[in-house]
Each structure stands twice: as structure tokens, then as C-alpha cells.
């Protein structure tokens, strides 16, 4: 297990309410921030709160901003084994995916394939392109056990498929898709591959040179950093994209008749950037690197199996998604049911845990409306506990205790 002392780095964990400590189990949405990241952001605002950019003549503060943000791009690139030229700053994973969707050369009749467990961020953009540009969006159905069906993907691939866009690790249940195999078979058909890595980069070692995906999107705010997103793209793949948002800092020169765009990544980073967030991203990457991504992954896997085993002893618990805990990591989603009917609504479970135990987790559809609707569950969704490096077995025990009490009282 990871050392207990690292929890001391997270100020939010020191808060008390009604004399009880914080139990934060919502890191799949947004992680807590260590003091090292908070201090890095504060340093920017206190010491050199100026514009960066690529002006020909820069003053003292501007040079400091430029140096700090260039180092941040290098550190984030190194974290996933990319080059700085392959890292594009975005607001979040959603914007990164939309950048590819809106800039990738797709024509009427071209096909985009996704899995059936995509977050709305990797579903709705393709539905919009289907509606407005006549592309075809097709869904690869899961196997009966809810795992990804590579054989079905192979059957659906054809020369018309231009892009395969799938989640790396699902925000529903922490299940990791076989992305290495997906990338290989998609490339065999000449299709590009985009990975939604919002739930993988923060929790496991991700090496883009080994994965060989063309694009990969993730969010820094899910990995101890500020609200910021990243799009990785192989240099060749990024050069195929048109500018997403045009304007200041995307061009090297302009005339009344035309503009000359900068090469990637700068052509995609229009206007004043969130310099503090970029600097904070570097601090988050340094923190995670120091702890060790393999240690974090193993810690979460053990906690996931421990929590799953404890919850499975409660008769009313029904796990959502892949049921085999060995195939899940970091996320445990469940419902409380009896005789095939909901015993306590997921929203009520979350509210009771928050009110009586200070346990903060998420309930609802987790932006996976299509997955829940296809299975007849609807908007009530599930209760989702998402774990990270600062969580402990003792917190899992308190969650189980709370669920047992809810079943006893409400059932």
C-alpha cells in the first residue's frame, strides 16, 4: 500500500464536519490537489502573473511565464513518453476530443466506430457530425459479460472506417479496454485511432509510443492538477488536422487576404492560455512521478478488489458494468436492489452517505446515458465510488458500513 503520510499533502483531507473526517471517493470526476500543485499555481499569480505567448520582444515577467509553460509542456510530454510538439493544451478531455472531431478530415459516408460504453464526450461529437456532415457513427456492442468484443470490431472494420475512437479505461467501472489490440486491427484497415484516456493517464503508466494510438486525450484535473486538458497527437497525425479555433497566437503572420498558421501544437492554442494551470500540471506530473505510477495502479487495484469483496457480501448490492473485480481498477459502481427492484435510489444513497458519513461519491448516469438507456436502467444510474492514491482500506470499510446501515434502515 502507499504510505499513509502522503495524505498529509492534501489540505482538503484535513477538513472536519461534525467532528468527522473527509472521505473523498469522487476522483473519477475531479481529484483532490496536493499542496505542491497549489503552491505552484499560487507562485504564478503572486510572482509573475503576466502573458506568455510568442512575441518578438518580451519583458521580464513574460519571459518567466514562457519558460515555465515551455517546461510544463516538456514535463507533461515526458510523462506519457511523447515529444513537446505532440502536446496540445485544451480546456479538458471534452475539448480535446472535439478538436479532433471538428478538425479531422471526415466526409459524408465516412464511418467512425466507438465502443458502447463511451462518455458523452466521445459520443455526442460524432452524433453531431452524423447530423450535420453526413458521417456514419457505428457502435461496437459489448460481449454478454460487458467486456469489449475485438472480434466484433474486426467484423465492422472496412475501408470506409476512417477513425476508431474508444475509451481507454471506462469511467463506469474502471474496466480497461484492450486498446493495444484495438489500435493494431484499426491500423490494419488504415483507420486512425483516438483514445479517451481521462481515466487511464491519472492512474497507470501510459506510454504513447508503445500504444501507437494517433490521438489521446486526458484531463489534468483528474490527476491532481488544475482544470486543464491535453490532446496528444502523433506529429504526422496533428499535421493532418485543420485549426479548431483560429485567432491570436495561432499564426506566424496575417494579411487582409490570408493568414499563415503556425505548425502544431501552437496552431491549436488560440488566445491567452491558462498559464497557471499549465504550471500546475507540471507540478502534478512531478508529484505522480515521485510516487510512482505503477505503485499507484497497484494500490488502486488492491483497494478495488478489497472494496468489491466487502460489498459483494451485502445481498442487496448489484455491481454495474464488468462484474469481475480483477478486470476493474479504481472504480466500483453499484445499485441497491431487492427482488429485481431498486431498494434505494442511487441519488438517495449518495445523499445519505454524504450527510451521515462525510463520504463523497457520485450517483447518476456519469455522462453514460446511452449505456444505461440501452440496458433499461435509465437516468437513475448507479452509485460510483472512485478511488485514488490517497484513499485507504479504512475508508472502504466506512463506506461498506454506511451501505449496510442504509440497507438496514431504508430497506
Alpha-carbon distance of 32 to 17, in angstroms, equals 17
Indicate the helix (H) or strand (E) that contains 44: helix 35-47
Residue 29 annotated to the active site: no
Helix H segments across 104-178?
A: 124-133, 150-156
Name the E strands within 84-155.
Answer: 87-90, 111-115, 136-140
CA angle, 240 then 278 then 249, to 5° = 50
> Pick from 149, 276, 181: which is nearest to 220 by CA?
276
C-alpha cell at 101: 472531431
On the CB side of 236, how many CA atoms lie within 13 Å of its CA?
4
Strands 331-338 and 87-90: unpaired
Instruction: Retrieve residue 279's grid coordinates.
Output: 504550471
Contact 6, 363 (CB under 8 A): no
Angstrom distances, CA of residue 283 to CA of 5, 73, 79, 194, 380? 19, 11, 12, 26, 37
Cα separation of 115 and 140, whole Å?
A: 5
Catalytic residue among 29, 51, 367, 396: 367
The two most distant CA atoms of the chain are separated, in Å, by 72
Give the position of cell 445499485: 335
DSSP helix/strand/coil, 277: helix
Using DSSP's 3-state secondary structure scheme, residue 295 falls into helix
Q: Give me the count of residues in the chain.
A: 411
Helix (H, G, I), strand (E, B) or coil at 308: helix
Residues labelled catalytic:
367
Amino acid at each position: 500500500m502507499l504510505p499513509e503520510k502522503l495524505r498529509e499533502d492534501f489540505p482538503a483531507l484535513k477538513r472536519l464536519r461534525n467532528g468527522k473526517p473527509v472521505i473523498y471517493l469522487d476522483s473519477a470526476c475531479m481529484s483532490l490537489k496536493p499542496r505542491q500543485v497549489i503552491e505552484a499555481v499560487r507562485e504564478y499569480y503572486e510572482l509573475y502573473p503576466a502573458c506568455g505567448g510568442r512575441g518578438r520582444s518580451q519583458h521580464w515577467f513574460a519571459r518567466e511565464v514562457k519558460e515555465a509553460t515551455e517546461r510544463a509542456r516538456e514535463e507533461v510530454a515526458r510523462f506519457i513518453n511523447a515529444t513537446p510538439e505532440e502536446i496540445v493544451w485544451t480546456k479538458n478531455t471534452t475539448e480535446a476530443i472535439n478538436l479532433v472531431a471538428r478538425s479531422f478530415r471526415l466526409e459524408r459516408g465516412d464511418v467512425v466506430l466507438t465502443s458502447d460504453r463511451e462518455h458523452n464526450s466521445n459520443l455526442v461529437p460524432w452524433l453531431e457530425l452524423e447530423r450535420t456532415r453526413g458521417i456514419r457513427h457505428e457502435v461496437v456492442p459489448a460481449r454478454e459479460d460487458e467486456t469489449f468484443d475485438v472480434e466484433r470490431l474486426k467484423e465492422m472494420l472496412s475501408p470506409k472506417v476512417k477513425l476508431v475512437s474508444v475509451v481507454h479505461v471506462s469511467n463506469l467501472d474502471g474496466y480497461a479496454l484492450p486498446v493495444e489490440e484495438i489500435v493494431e486491427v484499426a491500423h490494419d484497415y488504415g483507420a486512425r485511432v483516438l483514445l479517451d484516456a481521462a481515466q487511464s493517464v491519472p492512474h497507470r503508466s501510459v506510454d504513447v509510443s508503445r500504444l501507437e494510438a494517433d490521438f489521446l486525450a486526458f484531463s489534468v484535473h483528474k490527476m491532481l492538477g488544475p482544470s486543464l486538458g491535453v490532446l496528444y497527437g502523433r506529429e504526422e497525425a496533428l499535421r493532418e488536422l485543420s485549426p479548431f479555433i483560429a485567432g491570436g497566437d495561432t499564426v506566424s503572420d496575417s494579411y487582409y487576404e490570408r493568414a499563415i498558421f503556425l505548425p502544431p501544437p501552437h496552431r491549436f492554442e488560440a488566445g491567452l492560455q491558462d498559464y497557471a494551470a499549465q504550471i500546475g500540471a507540471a507540478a502534478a506530473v512531478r508529484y505522480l512521478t515521485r510516487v510512482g505510477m505503477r505503485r499507484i495502479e497497484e494500490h488502486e487495484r488492491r483497494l478495488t478488489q478489497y472494496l468489491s469483496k466487502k460489498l459483494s457480501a451485502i445481498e442487496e448490492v448489484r455491481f454495474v458494468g464488468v462484474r469481475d473485480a480483477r478486470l476493474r481498477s479504481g472504480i466500483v459502481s453499484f445499485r441497491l436492489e431487492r427482488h429485481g427492484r431498486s431498494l434505494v435510489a442511487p441519488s438517495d444513497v449518495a445523499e445519505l452517505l454524504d450527510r451521515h458519513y462525510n463520504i463523497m461519491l457520485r450517483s447518476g448516469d456519469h455522462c453514460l446515458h446511452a449505456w444505461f438507456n440501452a440496458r433499461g436502467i435509465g437516468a437513475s444510474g448507479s452509485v460510483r465510488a472512485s478511488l485514488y492514491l490517497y484513499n485507504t482500506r479504512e475508508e472502504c470499510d466506512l463506506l461498506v458500513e454506511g451501505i449496510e446501515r442504509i440497507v438496514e434502515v431504508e430497506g
